[in-house]
Amino acid sequence: MQNKTNVMRILDSRKIEYKAHCYEDSGMISGIDVANVLGENPSQVFKTLVTRSSNKLYYVFVVPVDSELDLKKAAKSVNEKSIEMIKQKELLPLTGYIHGGCSPIGMKKQFCTVIDKTAMQYNTIYISAGKIGYQVEISPSDLQKIITISFDNIVK
């Protein structure tokens, strides 16, 4: 692979095992489309969502692309009364990533991150490699070696 993303460089520097997967960027592509292009189960391909609490704290949630984040369950998982999705225009200045290429690895600042517990049923999951058209396949336990994460039931 000639184009390594920052996420891949971070994984390499920490000697974390992963597989890189690339697909053609055909404009706006949904997570389900990404799973189909990769030929993978959509329940094993995860999207990264950034939220803000009523206390103005930011939280990152990682859920399967075929699921929807349950804001009530997500708020409870981080001991907040309520949370809401941030606006798309806030994503790049806050995380350094654009919509469709947001990864829980390598954000400008490390936020409290919760991954849906269904990730634990797979040897590996797919997450964004930080750029549209790039995914990394990584084990949930190896992901824990890089970022502080917890696992909880956060989908509808």
pLDDT of residue 3: 81
User: How confident is residue 87, by pLDDT bands cut at 50, 70 and 90?
Assistant: very high
For the chain, percent of residues with pLDDT exceeding 90: 84
Distance from C-alpha of 137 to C-alpha of 133, rounded to nearest angstrom: 13
Please tell us whether the domain made up of 6-152 is placed in CATH 3.90.960.10: yes
Would the pLDDT of 27 be above 90? no
Contacts of 99 (CB under 8 A, 6+ apart): 88, 91
pLDDT of residue 66: 96
pLDDT of residue 67: 96
Domain extents for the chain?
A: 6-152
Distance from C-alpha of 63 to C-alpha of 144, rounded to nearest angstrom: 15
The answer to whether 135 and 11 are in contact (CB under 8 A) is: no
